Chains A and B, each alone.
Chain A
Amino acid sequence: MLDIRDLTAAYGPVTALDGVSFTAPEGKITAVLGANGAGKTSLLRTISGLLRPTKGTAYLAGKDLSRVPVERMSRLGLAHVPEGRGVITELTVEENLRLGGLGRSARAKPADLERIYTLFPKMADRRHKTAHVLSGGERQMLVIGRALLATPKVLLLDEPSLGLAPRIVAQIFDLLKSLVESDGLTIVLVEQNARSALSIADYGVVLNLGKLVVHDDAAVLAADDKLRHAYLGF
């Protein structure tokens, strides 16, 4: 579904990604792991066009994304939830959700707000409040809900567990798992929290200093003691 080929990107003279290649298969969760500064966030930003690759390409269902403007991505079926800043706190909960539906894939049906409210009943009660009344976990659920309204084929998630209590993280990861099963969504999940991420992921990719270290089944990665100690910190 999402093919990354030799993707290379830089911030000025600093190389952020160095020839990364892997495939995120359809209907599966691929976890992207690695230490701070390994290039995880840069990888997602390069895929969605916020950062332009200096070499290499990402293909979404065969379509070359390297020349597509960021604004077009959501209509092609690529949703990117950036790290920690996804909610527009000045807008109401419902406005955030409506915004997601406006950029939906070209041929999708109109957005179904009620489905999101059924998934997150707490949000339905506060649909007309500004989003800054939401807690961290609720904000993360709001941005995931908003991304769903864009009817994506591929969902890029940057550190959804950041700053959240373990119980909330478990809730969010359960939700992701069920979305993959019900919608056939393809998820690329960037995580610092490698243990939790590998517990729901089908595949894992480990980055270090912008380079791909290993790409394998999640279970294989979780069982590899040397790899875990060296790169994953658990």
Chain B
Amino acid sequence: MQQFLTTALTGLTQGMIYAAFALALVLIWRSTRIVNFAQAPMAMITVYIALVIIDAGYSYWLGFAAALLSGLLLGAVVERVAIRPVEDKPHINAVILTLGLFIVIHALAAVIFGSNYRSFPAPFGLSGFRVGDVNVALTGFSVFTILAVLAVMLLLVLLFRFTNVGLMMRASAFNQEVARLLGVRVTRMLTQGWALAAMVGSLSGLLIAGGNLVHPSYMDSVVVFGFVAAVLGGLDSPIGAVVGGLILGVSLSFVSGYIGSEVIALAALVILMVVLLLRPGGLFSHAPARRV
């Protein structure tokens, strides 16, 4: 029983992180049809910025805020400087470009911050609660992780559903030409979309880093799992990304807890294959739009 509970809670926490990362991928995919492979190193470099601030003696939260803010900024800069010039070319150009960015940012991080392992603090305890004589594996930091991701999702839902900017961003994502004809400045919306996505990516980077070691490629395995989570959810659906992340996190945690951690990658592949066989468009794909 205790192992079951521990495994489930670990999976839930891990799933929330995958969900955040998948959400970042989906936000960019649905507005530009680009899979942003540079998401992980972009997040990584903003986490290093946080680390520099924290190591200089400032509070964890100042570093946290700086990472999110620099994520926002980095996303906008990458879109304006790197992606915009290839926007009207075939999508594959931009995708290859993000792969190139992946390598460049990695190298930059190694040059600037060094490629050794450095420990990143956590703002809350890393030991579990005790309820009676049962050890619950839910640490203060995992509670924070779950709440932080939930809060970001809630804010995104509020932004997209209830604000004019959110409506214009969605319109730009779904139909650029119609949006432009209705007076929406689509290019500005795309920049904002990249900025938001990169910020959500930075959040997942911070949550993975908390209480762990960071080095320039510490985010790389999350790319795979985050991408699988996004595809599970249907790539187009933010809710799908979240559900996909949770499903993946929990199932991988059980595989790792009951079978062995060496088959995790294999299990992720099997889950992906089964879902895509049953629902080729992903779990939350829209029914094909009726053409009239």
Contact of A91 with B by CB under 8 A: yes
Contact of B106 with A by CB under 8 A: no
Take A50-B177, A73-B183, A102-B183 as given contacts and tell me if A136 and B292 are in contact as well, using a CB distance cutoff of 8 Å: yes
Q: How far is the CB of A230 from chain B (nearest CB, A)?
A: 32
Interfacial residues of chain A within 57-94, with CB under 8 A of chain B in the complex = 70-75, 79-82, 85-86, 88-91
Choose from A75, A100, A139, A146 the contact partner of B292 (Cβ within 8 Å).
A139
Contact of A150 with B by CB under 8 A: yes
Q: Mark interface residues in B164-205 (1 if CB within 8 Å of A CB, else 0).
A: 100110110011011111111110000000000000000000
Question: Could you say which residues of chain A place their CB within 8 Å of the CB of B170?
Answer: 90-91, 95
Pair B181/A90 contact, Cβ less than 8 Å: no
Report the bound CA distance from A72 to B184 in whole Å.
9
Q: How far is the CB of B190 from chain A (nearest CB, A)?
A: 13
Report the bound CA distance from A95 to B162 in whole Å.
10
Question: Could you say which residues of chain A place their CB within 8 Å of the CB of B174?
Answer: 88-91
Contact of A160 with B by CB under 8 A: no
Question: Could you say which residues of chain B place their CB within 8 Å of the CB of A82?
Answer: 177-178, 181
Question: Could you say which residues of chain A place their CB within 8 Å of the CB of B182?
Answer: 74, 99-100, 102-103, 146, 150
Q: Which of B180, B186, B286 is most buried by chain A, counting CB atoms within 10 A of its CB?
A: B180
Contact of B290 with A by CB under 8 A: yes
Pair B183/A72 contact, Cβ less than 8 Å: yes
Question: Could you say which residues of chain A place their CB within 8 Å of the CB of B164?
Answer: 98, 102
A contact residues, range: 20 to 34
Report the bound CA distance from A50 to B180 in whole Å.
9
Interface size for B (C-beta < 8 A) is 21
Contact of B289 with A by CB under 8 A: yes
Q: How far is the CB of B236 from chain A (nearest CB, A)?
A: 9
Pair B175/A88 contact, Cβ less than 8 Å: yes
Report the bound CA distance from A132 to B167 in whole Å.
17
Interfacial residues of chain B within 89-141, with CB under 8 A of chain A in the complex = none
Choose from A70, A89, A99 the contact partner of B168 (Cβ within 8 Å).
A99
Instruction: Count A/B pairs, Cβ under 8 Å.
Output: 72
Contact of A48 with B by CB under 8 A: yes
Q: How far is the CB of B156 from chain A (nearest CB, A)?
A: 16
Report the bound CA distance from A150 to B181 in whole Å.
10
Considering the complex, give the chain B residue whose CB is closest to the CB of A140.
Answer: B292
Report the bound CA distance from A163 to B290 in whole Å.
13
Question: Could you say which residues of chain B place their CB within 8 Å of the CB of A182?
Answer: none
Pair B184/A86 contact, Cβ less than 8 Å: no
Question: Could you say which residues of chain B place their CB within 8 Å of the CB of A74?
Answer: 181-183
Report the bound CA distance from A146 to B290 in whole Å.
20
Pair A80/B181 contact, Cβ less than 8 Å: yes
Choose from B167, B186, B289 the contact partner of A99 (Cβ within 8 Å).
B167
Question: Could you say which residues of chain A place their CB within 8 Å of the CB of B171?
Answer: 88, 91, 99
Report the bound CA distance from A82 to B167 in whole Å.
20
Choose from B180, B286, B289 the contact partner of A70 (Cβ within 8 Å).
B180
Pair B185/A85 contact, Cβ less than 8 Å: no
Q: How far is the CB of A92 from chain B (nearest CB, A)?
A: 10
Choose from A50, A72, A98, A146 the contact partner of B167 (Cβ within 8 Å).
A98
Q: How far is the CB of B239 from chain A (nearest CB, A)?
A: 13
Considering the complex, give the chain B residue whose CB is closest to the CB of A163.
Answer: B292
Q: How far is the CB of A48 from chain B (nearest CB, A)?
A: 6
Q: How far is the CB of A198 from chain B (nearest CB, A)?
A: 25
Interface residues, chain A, with chain B CB atoms under 8 Å away: 48, 50, 70-75, 79-82, 85-86, 88-91, 95, 98-100, 102-104, 132, 135-136, 139, 146, 150, 163
Apart from A99-B182, A103-B184: 15 A-B pairs, beta carbons within 8 A: A50-B180, A70-B180, A70-B181, A71-B183, A71-B185, A73-B183, A74-B181, A74-B183, A90-B174, A99-B168, A99-B184, A102-B168, A146-B182, A150-B183, A163-B292
Question: Which 9 pairs across A and B sit closest by C-beta, in order of nearness?
Answer: A103-B183, A136-B292, A74-B183, A70-B180, A103-B182, A90-B174, A71-B185, A89-B289, A80-B181
Interface residues, chain B, with chain A CB atoms under 8 Å away: 164, 167-168, 170-171, 174-175, 177-186, 286, 289-290, 292
19 A/B residue pairs, CB under 8 Å, sorted by A: A50-B177, A70-B180, A71-B185, A74-B183, A75-B183, A82-B177, A82-B181, A88-B175, A90-B174, A91-B167, A91-B170, A91-B174, A99-B184, A102-B167, A102-B182, A103-B183, A132-B289, A135-B292, A150-B182
